[in-house]
A and B are shown apart, each in its own frame.
Chain A
Amino acid sequence: AQSVTQLGSHVSVSEGALVLLRCNYSSSVPPYLFWYVQYPNQGLQLLLKYTSAATLVKGINGFEAEFKKSETSFHLTKPSAHMSDAAEYFCAVSRNFGNEKLTFGTGTRLTIIP
């Protein structure tokens, strides 16, 4: 069985500061990992995905994530936060390439301080 743990249900950063959202996974097989973003009153949108092609994955809106097998982590980062980044972020794991079923973390709400 696979699972993900997101450390910190709420994260606040100042505009222009580094954004770091943490995700650790547990999987019995090589995982496929995803970050989704949810803006208020909307569904989830894919930010980026790791499918074993490269350990550093670049996504939309300047976000990137690095897969570290030794640390079982897939943390999401952005060098400089923007007000529009305020949203809830979900890490998810799938055990197969086709992401037939995703297991989501509990989410991290990102607040940007002006």
Chain B
Amino acid sequence: NAGVTQTPKFRILKIGQSMTLQCTQDMNHNYMYWYRQDPGMGLKLIYYSVGAGITDKGEVPNGYNVSRSTTEDFPLRLELAAPSQTSVYFCASRPRAFEDQPQHFGDGTRLSIL
């Protein structure tokens, strides 16, 4: 049981490039989340999904896009990378609402935009 898997672990992008951060979970969880973590700022929610085909914006969605075509996968897309998007990105998942279970986190993707 792998839990939440994020790829890649590290990446350096040039300004204006695009990339997709991959996230997959094998726990059959309905809810999935993308966060970014900046030093001294805690975690900020970018996007989340309550099930396949359903996504919604979080606190800091600008510059990002997501899709949820399957229960397992929740990729995060950066279309035009900007230095302000340098951060550590975490994907998380949890079972459906009203189940007393915490969010499970992946190990993160460390992204630098130069």
Contacts and interface: CB of A to CB of B under 8 A. Distances in A.
A107 B105 contact: no
A34 B105 CA distance: 14
B100 A107 contact: no
A25 interface: no
Given A90-B43, A97-B98, A102 B107 contact: no
A112 B111 CA distance: 29
Given A44-B90, A51-B100, A106-B42, A101 B48 contact: yes
B77 to A, nearest CB: 21
Given A9-B40, A34-B102, A101 B94 contact: no
B42 to A, nearest CB: 4
A104 B107 contact: no
A45 interface: yes
A45 B104 CA distance: 7
A105 B42 contact: yes
A114 interface: no
A100 B97 contact: yes
Given A42-B107, A43-B107, A106-B40, A98 B98 contact: yes
Interface string B101-114: 01101111000000
A90 B42 contact: yes
B21 interface: no
A49 interface: yes
B22 to A, nearest CB: 15
A46 B93 CA distance: 13
A18 B70 CA distance: 46
A28 interface: no
Interface of A: 9, 34, 41-46, 49, 51, 90, 96-102, 104-107
